[in-house]
Copies of this chain bind each other. A is one copy, B any other.
Amino acid sequence: MSLQKVSSNKTFGGELIKYKFKSEVLGGLDANFNLFLPPSAQKGKVPILTYLSGLTCTEDNAAQKGSFLGPAAQEGIAILFPDTSPRGAGIEGESDSWDFGLAAGFYVDATNPKWSKHYNMLSHVTVELPSVLTAADLPIDFTRQSIFGHSMGGHGALTLYLSSLHQGVKQYRSVSAFAPISNPINCPWGQKAFGGYLKDGIEEAKEKYDATELIKRAKFPVNILVDYGTGDNFYIQGQLLPENFLKAARDNGYDEVQVRVRSQEGYDHSYYFISTFGADHIHFHANFLKA
């Protein structure tokens, strides 16, 4: 699992480094990720924020377009940008659609035997990456982690955060999401993904991989920020369903301090939307990561 440095770019006084390594949980395939280290990482360990990207993305898109690095440099926070699926598994049908398979791992551990050797992005993000970064002796304090993401990655961030809390593990101090797929068992993207990756499909997803279901049953304090745009076509088409998540949270007694869902007038699904609120999200997490 030793890390190989692919490239490095100085940026905002810190460094954006691309690494690759042989990923065991992804079935022995090479996995890439980007890591932003703020200038303060030269002096000591820094907290880390994991960013999960959406459909069709790699580890690069948000590093380049998210407008996160400047604010993270200021706040002294590292950002980890994983890829969105295994690459090179060669599973039949893997590249047939843009919303399933390649670049569409949905941050689950697959249980359908066809996919379960490789498609384990949940363990890749929550267990394997922290472990390889720790082994590489990078200046990161893994007792201070938070997570955020966009669209499919917003789904990933919310579910990884909530399901770890359900298991009594405080892996992440806070979560935020841009235009997350908030109730995937009730939208076409989620139904297709879970139907493919999971042996028991929607039933299995309802237990583990649906943010709305997870917040319904939650009995712990949370720190959640969600932004979505009213001009987002995927929102309009019913792929995101943030209202379902918000209603479930309110019905379960969470107030605006613990679960804040903001409707942003006229914004769409693009990085032009994400970058607008990027600094906001970094500062939100800084409250918890630096507490």
- What residues make up the interface of A, taking CB atoms closer than 8 Å to B? 9-13, 16, 64-65, 67, 69-70, 229, 231, 266-268, 270-273, 275-276, 279
Q: Which of B11, B64, B65 contacts A276 (CB 8 A)?
A: B11
Determine whether the beta carbon of B10 is less than 8 Å from that of A275.
no
Distance of A274 Cα from B13 Cα, bound (Å): 12
A11, B69: Cβ atoms closer than 8 Å: no
Query: A10 contacts B70, CB within 8 Å?
Result: no
Expressed in whole angstroms, the Cα–Cα distance for A13 and B273 within the complex equals 10
Tell me the complex Cα distance, A2–B231, Å: 27
Q: Is A10 within 8 A of B271, CB to CB?
A: no
* Residue of B with least CB distance to A271: B64
- CB contacts (< 8 Å) of A70 on chain B: these are 67, 275-276, 279
Cα distance A65–B252 in the bound complex, in angstroms? 40
Distance between Cα atoms of A208 and B9 in the complex (Å): 35
Q: Measured between alpha carbons, how far is A16 from B70 in the docked complex, in Å?
A: 21
Task: Give the interface centre of A16, A64, A69, A267 by most chain B CB atoms within 10 Å.
Answer: A64
Determine the chain B residues whose CB is within 8 A of the CB of A16 once the complex forms.
272
- Are A273 and B229 closer than 8 Å at their CB atoms? no
Copies of this chain present: 2
| Known A10-B267, A11-B273, A67-B70; 14 more pairs at CB < 8 Å | A9-B268, A9-B272, A10-B231, A10-B268, A10-B272, A10-B273, A10-B276, A11-B267, A12-B275, A12-B276, A64-B64, A64-B271, A67-B67, A70-B276
CA distance A229 to B8 in the complex (A): 14
Contacts of A272 in B (CB 8 A): 9-11, 16, 64, 69
> Closest 9 interchain pairs by CB?
A11-B272, A9-B272, A10-B266, A12-B276, A10-B267, A64-B65, A11-B276, A9-B270, A16-B272
CB-CB under 8 A from A268, the residues of chain B are 9-10
| Contact status B64-A273, CB under 8 Å | no
- Give the chain B neighbours of A231 by CB distance below 8 A: 10
Q: Report 26 cross-chain contacts, Cβ distance below 8 Å, ordered by A residue.
A: A9-B270, A9-B272, A9-B273, A10-B229, A10-B231, A10-B267, A10-B268, A10-B272, A10-B273, A11-B267, A11-B272, A11-B273, A11-B276, A12-B275, A13-B276, A64-B64, A64-B65, A64-B271, A64-B272, A65-B65, A67-B67, A67-B70, A69-B272, A69-B275, A70-B275, A70-B276
List of B residues within 8 angstroms of A276 by Cβ: 10-13, 70
- Rounded to whole Å, the gap between the CB of A265 and the closest CB of chain B is 8
**How many angstroms between the C-alpha atoms of A271 and B271 in the bound complex?**
16
In the bound complex, what is the Cα–Cα distance between A248 and B285 (angstroms)?
48
**Contacting residues, chain B, for A267 (C-beta < 8 A):** 10-11
Name the residue on B nearest A278 (C-beta): B70
A64 contacts across to B, CB distance below 8 A: 64-65, 271-272
